[in-house]
Amino acid sequence: AKNSNQSNNQLNGKVSNDDRRAEFFARKHRIVQQRKSLPIASVEKRLVEEVKSNNILIIVGETGSGKTTQLPQFLFNAGLCHDGKVIGITQPRRVAAVSVAKRVAEECGVQLGQRVGYSIRFDDTISRSTRIKYMTDGLLLREALLDPYLSRYSVIIVDEAHERTVHTDVLLGLLKTVQKVRSGPINECSKIDRMKANNGLLMEKENDAQRASILKQYRGIKLSPLKLIIMSASLDARVFSEYFGGARAVHVQGRQFPVDILYTHHPETDYLDATLITLFQIHLEEGPGDILVFLTGQEEIESVERLVQEKLRQLPEDNQKVKVLSIFSSLPSEKQMQVFMPAPTGFRKVILATNIAETSVTIPGIKYVIDPGFVKARTYCAHTGMESLIIVPTSKAQALQRSGRAGREVPGKCFRLYPESEFEKLSDSTIPEIRRCNLSNVILQLKALGVDDIIGFDFMEKPSSEAVLKSLELLVLLGALTEEYKLSDPVGHQMARLPLEPIYSKALILASQFNCLEEMLITVAMLSVESVFYNPREKLEEARTAAKCFSSLEGDHPTLIAVYRAFDEFLEKSNLGNSREKTEKNLRKWQIRGNIEQMGLHIVSCGDDMLQFRRCLAAAFFLNAALKQPDGTYRVLSSGQVVQIHPSSVFFRTKPDCIIFDEFVRTTHNYVRNLSSLLSTIPCKSRSRSRIHGLNLKDDRLLFVWRGLVELHSCTGLRWTAILIHPLGYC
């Protein structure tokens, strides 16, 4: 019996291996067919010629025509990676960089990380043999800090340029300069060094050692010309062409089937409810075909998913054959890839997506699109200095892109959940992000690149000078810039090296003085990545109960630390040493740790002394301090803004008198999220008179403010109840 069992197993093993092989070849064949049928495939030769004969090329092509996945492969095959150079493709979104790299690696039949790889903040799969590298636009900007002429790349493709993220805009400005230098007659390093003064170029480093080391890497290297390709899904190539001095633009013809656009008769009061009704109407009344629904974010997607499942269960069994999938940026990448898989036979796929699915990724099989007409967008108020994400109506361009998703493979239908008259009122296109975000991060990076005159920088679209000034002011208050707006040494240089928002970088640098760097690293790693707590829906209740056990009376930050530690311990105990989550989480922490250690900062833990940790938080986040008012709302000290505690906070019910927060969320209320309480005196370590390093609290009341802050706010007209400035600048 034993023997026959064994042979059975062997037999099974063999059969399944054969099956797997057959499946592998079938898939390979499908991919070859799919690639051949893409609109871009028929113009490969022409495109390669255009790239070879133009140093700057603008390529406009409909979403799904194959730009992102195919063009880099065409260029690789045409030999544009000479001398071990790399083709870099930037994406505004992490999800797109990862999913496209995976797809292209598969198309090329190579392992991810070999010829094809991706690199995003806190995660990369790049090796020495990588020639096609997908990355975020922000990441390439950071690379420029260490390699200002991007000498590793022979071609840089700025993809999804129509999205006009702040990083894309800044990158375009930078690439324009880099390209000029690399294509110019003088392209040897020593000469570049001499040229820079004339051109007002990069590398006006204050830090000589750093500058020398950067120059050293170029010594003896002849920089070859850089090919620059700007790709966009919007038909208007003019803005890009004009910005690059009349650069050549080519159009890739897409293939688009007609899409029926349907509007509602009246405006909807609850667009999520309307979405559900429409979804089931399509499912029950329309023919086969997958449905794509555009929602604004993770929370919305998860709640709609729950409701869809609930409703499905009430339907007769025959009608329950629906596979609901979602895609949003903080979804783990294995889950993101599931949306590309075909639904089981007889099933209808419903995909709940953020605007990622507008142009960044194309999901096969879609015939119906539901567009409630909203999107989450960054907004910035230069007056208060507060940045937030709010839900706003889409632009016409976005609505058109969304409906276009329905007609990729067959004629489709798009259900816009608003009346036609509303469509006419939408703005034509979205305002570039640079006009509506906090600029302190990019300013810090530009300064580190030697661009001193921010307002004079060759932006495609200038940010408002008010926003630039406010961000400069913030950087001065954080100590990253001197009062002459020069990068400070060492704090400014240190901050520029960390891939974090300036305020988090500052918190880490201060934490080494407050002996709580270990705790701050955990906090920053957890806060700087969108929703580190990925709560799979089924586990939500469990997760909530678990989180309650850890909730600390001292605030959300200490709670985060407790959760992280418990999770770490749990993984250790349950022998999940190699689990993906563990590596992912630790990676973030350790990657920043690498940067920190290079700076020579000491990583020590304050143990259970959370008071010390909160002092440090206060010293870094002092601009985000708020005092409770008699009616239970809070008033932000630096801006005067009135805010409320977000329901997710441990302080939602027990409101402390003074808090610091690190996120401002604008929904129906002005909420602040991730809070810690400030209760005791915070000794200020600074001896400098003109710079604030924190605020001082005593008896729950604000008593001392540093001079800089007072000056700042007296000029914005804020009144304080008790202000005392110590003549020596510290107390």
The residue ranges that bind ligand ADP (CB under 6 A) are 38, 61, 63-70, 99, 103, 340, 362, 364
Rounded to a whole number of angstroms, the minimum distance from the CB of residue 193 to Mg ion is 38
- Neighbouring residues of 42: CB distance < 8 A, sequence distance ≥ 6: none
Q: Which is nearer to ligand ADP, 36 or 128 (CB)?
A: 36
The nearest distance, CB 704 to Mg ion, in angstroms, is 54
Name which of 201 and 363 has its Cβ closer to ligand ADP: 363
Which stretches of 362-405 are DSSP H helices?
A: 396-404
Of the pair 50, 206, the CB lying nearest ligand ADP is at: 50
Count of residues that interact with Mg ion, criterion CB under 5 A: 2
Nearest distance in Å: CB 361, Mg ion: 8
Q: How far apart are CA 347 and CA 339, in angstroms?
A: 14
Q: Based on CB atoms, which residue is closest to ligand ADP, 75 or 522?
A: 75
Residue 355, contacted partner among ligand ADP, Mg ion, none, CB below 5-8 A by kind: none
Least separation, in Å, of the C-beta of 79 and Mg ion?
23
- What's the min distance (Å) between Cβ of 31 and ligand ADP? 8
Tokens, residue 47: 């495109």
Which of these, 455, 353, 436, 359, lies nearest to 392 by C-alpha position?
436
Q: Which does 66 bind (CB under 5 to 8 A by kind): ligand ADP, Mg ion, none?
A: ligand ADP
**Tokens linked to 540:** 């939500």
Distance separating alpha carbons of residues 108 and 106, to the nearest angstrom: 5
DSSP E strand boundaries for 114-268 = 116-120, 123-124, 132-136, 153-158, 227-232, 248-252, 259-263
Distances (CA, A) of 241 to 91, 161, 177, 227: 20, 12, 16, 15
Least Å distance between CB 676 and ligand ADP?
41
Q: Which does 326 bind (CB under 5 to 8 A by kind): Mg ion, ligand ADP, none?
A: none
Minimum distance, C-beta of residue 376 to ligand ADP, in the bound complex (Å): 22
Backbone region of residue 203 per phi and psi (left: phi > 0; alpha: psi in -120 to 50; beta: other values): left
Strand ranges inside 49-202, DSSP E = 56-61, 86-91, 116-120, 123-124, 132-136, 153-158
Q: Which does 638 bind (CB under 5 to 8 A by kind): Mg ion, ligand ADP, none?
A: none
Beta-carbon neighbour count of residue 731 at 10 Å?
13
Give 70 or 677: the residue with its C-beta nearer to ligand ADP. 70
Q: Cβ 72 to Mg ion, closest distance in Å? A: 11
- Nearer to Mg ion by Cβ, of 90 and 515: the residue is 90
- Residue 66 CB, nearest approach to ligand ADP (Å): 4
- Please identify, using beta-carbon distances, which residue of 95 and 301 lies nearer to ligand ADP: 95
Q: Which residue is nearest to Mg ion (CB)?
A: 68
Evaluate whether 658 touches 626 at the Cβ level (below 8 Å): yes
Judged by beta carbon distances under 5 to 8 A according to partner kind, the member of Mg ion, ligand ADP, none in contact with residue 296 is none
What is the helix (H) or strand (E) element at residue 632, kind and residue range?
A: none
Instruction: Look at residue 64 and give the partner it binds from Mg ion, ligand ADP, none, a contact being a CB closer than 5 to 8 Å depending on partner kind.
Output: ligand ADP
Q: State residue 186 phi and psi, 5-degree precision.
A: -100, 110
Strand segments (E) across 92-189: 116-120, 123-124, 132-136, 153-158
> Over the range 370-380, which residues count as b (16 or more CB within 10 Å of their CB) and which as e?
bbbbbbebebb
**Token couple for 652:** 């939602």
Tokens at residue 682, please? Answer: 């915070």
Q: How far is the CA of 234 from the CAs of 159, 229, 287, 423, 426, in angstroms?
A: 12, 15, 31, 18, 17
* Residue 340 contact partner, candidates Mg ion, ligand ADP, none, CB within 5 to 8 A by sort of partner: ligand ADP
Comparing CB distances to ligand ADP, the nearer of 103 and 493 is 103
Residue 103: CB minimum distance to Mg ion, A? 11
Nearer to ligand ADP (CB atom), residue 110 or residue 571:
110
Token duo for residue 638:
């630096």
Nearer to ligand ADP, 63 or 234 (CB): 63
Instruction: Work out how close the CB of 77 gets to ligand ADP at its nearest, in angstroms, rounded to a whole number.
Output: 16
**Smallest separation (angstroms) from ligand ADP to the CB of 239:** 19
Looking at the Cβ atoms of 100 and 712, the one nearer to ligand ADP is: 100
365 binds, among ligand ADP, Mg ion, none (CB under 5 to 8 A by kind): none
Q: Is it true that the peptide bond before 490 is cis, omega within 30 degrees of 0? A: yes
- CB of 66 or CB of 450, closer to ligand ADP: 66
Alpha-carbon distances of 627 from 617, 642, 697, rounded to whole Å:
16, 10, 11
Reference 625, options 688, 528, 716, 696; nearest CA is 696
Which of Mg ion, ligand ADP, none lies near 479, with the C-beta cut-off 5 to 8 A by kind?
Answer: none
DSSP-derived letter for residue 499 is: S
Of the two residues 63 and 494, which places its CB atom closer to ligand ADP in the complex? Answer: 63
Q: Strands of 412-416's sheet, edge to edge?
A: 259-263, 412-416, 366-371, 290-294, 348-353, 322-327
**Which SS3 state, helix, strand or coil, does residue 144 take?**
helix
Scanning residues 35 to 94, which ones bind Mg ion (CB under 5 A)?
A: 67-68
**Residue whose C-alpha is closest to residue 714's, from 659, 640, 654:** 640
Q: Smallest distance, Å, CB 34 to ligand ADP?
A: 7
| Binding interface with Mg ion (CB under 5 A) | 67-68
